[in-house]
Structure 1
Amino acid sequence: MKQVKQIKLFVSCPGDIVDELNSIRLVIDDINKTIGEQNSYVLKLLNWKTDTYTQIGSDPQEVINNQIESQYDILIGLIWLRLGTPTKRDKSGTVEEINRALNNKEKEQLIYFKTTTPIDITKINPEELTKINQFKKELGDKGVLYHEFSSTTKFESLFRIQLIKLIYDKLSNVDNSKKNQNSNLPEIIEDKFSHITSLIAEVENFDEKSIELDIFNSIEEAESHLNLVTTSLNSMSESMNDWTIKMENRTKEMNAINNIKDQRLKIAKQKTIINLLAIELSDFKNRIKNELPIFSENFRKVGSSYSKVILIAKNFNSEEVNGIQESAKSLLDNSENSLKSLAVLLKTIMELPPLNFKFNRAKRETEITIKNLTFEMMEGIKLLNEALKN
């Protein structure tokens, strides 16, 4: 009978983490229904409320430590505005659970800090933020890697990539361990037809759900996201180049006007050029703004879809998979170059002097749009870097 490995996950977080818990469940369900079935493992999310029983202890946290810690394989630590309630042994229950996982070589950890500003700013407690920053410093001093995210959507993408990679690494280590153990065993055949019997048993115990898996569909999905984000990036780069040329031309026109001695005529021509520049700046902003949702969504999905393909195809030497890897690396290089150009462009726009209301408004709206694009590009690069790590 086909053995299914169960990988148990435990989420450690204070009570202000809510939306991300739903994201974790969605990612786990998706992995179980797709790549989990093919690779014969199932992810199970533990809950201290349902996976613990009544036990006498010095405090509730000790009961959780005694019962949950022995069960889970991967701890997911999440912190936002609160560190949590202090325990007898540490700064909070969450901190205690994370530190215990870090001190246990058999446990894996994925640790995240949410950086989103709450809608209700009264929820921000300076003392809590100080404690959180101190905990970050302690993790950094220990050489512990943690990740920050600014939205639930970005967390879901980052978590999906890192969980798939962690599972892939763990499964690979298990497989290699089994191979090494088997290589030392003597080949004893008690039944000359045992290998045929094993084949029959394997057919009879086949997991029918794995029929639904299609590596080529997964490759097509990854390629689709790659193509869309590449096309969007090229379109925005073209818009940036067009506006740069227009800006240079308007600057030359302004310099030529400075030679006009008639002040009225000079001012009138300057106003005309400034208004034209404002229109061109708004047009440039709108072109970028229209591309931003397409770029942002597909850039996030490139990393997660690439990770999914690699895990499904880990037993295949597929040219298509290698092609996607090369395309993803090329996208990463192009994105990093575009990010540098974007920073230069943003600085140039920010340094433009205030001229009139129409121009000033266009300038400000463009600054915000370019800032948003810069942020999304940095987030996408971070996710793609995670996916490409070997």
Structure 2
Amino acid sequence: MPQTINKYRILVASPSDVRDERESMDEVIDELNITYGNKANKIIELIKWETHSAPAVSEASPQDIIDKDLGTDYDLFIGILWKKFGTPTKECESGTEQEFRNAYSRFKRDPKSLQILFYFKTASPMSLSDIEPHELKKVNEFKNEIGDKGVYYWEYNTNEELQKFLRMHIPKRLDELGEPSANTKSKIASIETPLEEELGVIDYQEIIEESFNDSTQALLRITDATKWVGSEINKKTTELNSLTSSKQDISKKVLRDFFGRTADIMNNFASRIEPDIPIFIKSFEKGSDALFHLVTIYRSDFSISNEEDIRGAINSLEGLMSGIESSLSGTKSFLDTISNLPRMAKELNQARRNVEAKLEELINKLIICHSIVIELQKNLHKK
């Protein structure tokens, strides 16, 4: 029989340098409408100038056209900034800033009318030519300003990381808001869910178990490789000390041979961990997505009110968190050791850069996973 459906609207504001994030938000909203909205009798609409505005002429400024087209009947404002602040408008330093100030003014008038989610990308640009110091200065000044206004902003490194945060943050804020601002309700017979998306508790449990196991095994192989190369480098240190402790001069040929063999060990280590880094992160992402969907189903279908009902998921996440934190600490320490190696020969220098690149990539992935686990833990403990 017909159901009453609440429609929530989300406005996204950002400059053009986060185009990928804007495009991927459509996928996130479509997914949330299935995994979250379908069970909660809610529909989420994403409002963007690309889809909700059109060419026109204004006596004031182009931004006024966009503001009128987008309207003010939205429930969540999502702002995203990276290395650009945006194009100045008649009233503000950028369209993103003007849209934020419109939303913030609404919030100040009626705090229950909407919520604001703001995200800052921390990834380094691909090229130094992409950096505009005056733009970064504006971004940082704005970041400090909204922090002073009481906006609890979030930071992310990759588009994939932002998507995972949005999957957790959007439902949390919509649940807190209650009725949509425009009070948009409609009667519909049902919300159709694509068959390929109709996974259930058992399906997600299997995905979580398999994915987290694959992720853990990849991390263990990386740990074993790190222990191996650490042991080998210690042996080489002992060998070098033995060479230098003798009072005889050491020929350049002997030294080059020594550093060449040391470089081979380091390159071997880099080759061993290289395939396991993507296995670790992809398996982790697959498992964490499945865990989020599993908790969503439990809460909507089984009316979970006690965290004991999902104790297995909590234990899995706590174990994963422990492994990530241990690996992160050990990897950072080993990177410091490698980075402090003296530049004795070109082979060794090249090997050092090779290892540093792999370790920095791993550390970056571990940090991302760590932040996602923290958000998942918050979601699991949410009543």
CA contact (8 A) 1:237 1:338 kept: yes
In the TM superposition, what is the alpha-carbon distance from 1:335 to its structure 2 partner?
1.0
Unaligned runs of 5+ in 2: 180-188
Q: Which amino acid aligns with 1:251?
A: T
| Partner of residue 145, structure 1 | 152
Structure 1 Cα separation of the partners of residues 6 and 20 of structure 2 = 28
C-alpha displacement of 1:128: 1.9
Inter-CA distance 207–128: structure 2 relative to 1 (3 Å threshold): closer
Kindly indicate whether the alpha-carbon contact (under 8 Å) linking 2:116 and 2:151 is maintained by their aligned counterparts in 1.
Answer: no
Residue 297 of structure 1: aligned partner: 282
Residues 35 and 296 of structure 2 are in contact (CA less than 8 Å); yes or no, is this contact kept in structure 1? no
Work out whether residues 161 and 303 of structure 1, in 8 Å CA contact, stay in contact via their aligned partners in 2. Answer: no
Aligned residue number for residue 90 of structure 1: 92
User: How far 1:131 sits from its partner (Å)?
Assistant: 1.2
Q: 2:13–2:99: 8 Å Cα contact kept in structure 1? A: yes
The alpha carbon displacement at 1:164 in A equals 4.2
Q: Which residue of 2 aligns with 1:17?
A: 18
Matched, 1:126 2:112: no
Q: Aligned partners of 1:351 and 1:99: how far apart in 2? A: 48
Partner SS, residue 77 of structure 1: strand
SS of 1:313's equivalent in the other structure is: helix
**1:213 to partner: Cα distance:** 4.2
Question: Given the superposition, is the C-alpha separation of residues 283 and 311 from structure 1 closer, same or farther in structure 2, using an over 3 Å criterion?
Answer: same
Residue type of the partner of 2:34? K
The code of the aligned residue for 1:170 comes to E
Alpha-carbon contact 2:207-2:286 (below 8 Å) kept: no
Instruction: Report which stretch shifted further, 223-232 or 295-304.
Output: 295-304
* Post-superposition offset of 1:373: 0.9
Whether 2:230 is the aligned partner of 1:244: answer yes
Large movers: runs of 4+ above 6 Å: 52-57, 317-320
8 Å Cα contact 1:83-1:92 kept in structure 2: yes
Q: 2:205 aligns with which of 219, 228, 231?
A: 219
SS at match of 2:120: strand
**How big is the shift at 1:135?**
0.2
Instruction: Identify the range of structure 1 (138-147 vs 109-118) with the bigger mean alpha-carbon deviation.
Output: 109-118
Give the partner amino acid of 2:294: V
Is the Cα–Cα contact under 8 Å of residues 266 and 352 in structure 2 kept in the other structure? yes
Superposed, which structure 2 residues align to 1:313-332 within 5 Å?
313-314=298-299, 315-316=303-304, 321-332=310-321
The residue type paired with residue 111 of structure 1 is: F
Match of 1:258 in 2: 244
Q: Distance in 2 between matches of 1:308 and 1:57?
A: 48
Answer yes or no: is 1:4 the counterpart of 2:10: no
Task: Measure the CA separation in 1 of the matches of 2:94 and 2:375.
Answer: 30
Query: What do the CA deviations read for 1:21-65 (whole angstroms, capped 9, x no partner)?
Result: 211011111222334323322211123466469999865545655
- What is the identity percentage for the equivalent residue pairs of Structure 1 and Structure 2? 28
The CA RMSD measured in Å over matched residues stands at: 3.1
Equivalents in 1 of 2:208, 2:290: separation in Å? 5
CA distance in 1, matches of 2:65, 2:190: 41
Write the letter of the residue equivalent to 2:176: K
Give the Cα separation in 1 of the matches to 2:199 and 2:324: 31
Amino acid paired to 2:96: T
The one of 271, 278, 294 equivalent to 2:263 is 278
Q: Determine whether 1:74 maps to 2:76.
A: yes
CA contact (8 A) 2:13 2:48 kept: no
Kept in 2: contact 1:161–1:304 (CA 8 A)? no
Counterparts of 1:92-111 in structure 2, within 5 Å, are 92-103=94-105, 104=107, 105=111, 106-111=113-118
| Runs (5+) with no aligned partner, structure 1 | 175-204
- Partner amino acid, structure 1, of 2:241: N
For 2:369, the aligned partner's letter is: G
Q: Please give the TM-score of this superposition, normalised by the length of structure 1.
A: 0.80
Equivalence for 2:215: 229
| 3-state SS in 2 of match to 1:10 | strand
TM-score by length of 2: 0.81
Give, in whole Å, the separation in 1 of the partners of 2:34 and 2:232: 52
CA distance in 1, matches of 2:256, 2:48: 66
Residue 76 of structure 1 aligns with an amino acid whose one-letter code is I
Rate the CA distance shift 1:6–1:367 in 2: closer, same or farther, 3 A: same
Q: Distance in 1 between matches of 2:253 and 2:94?
A: 67
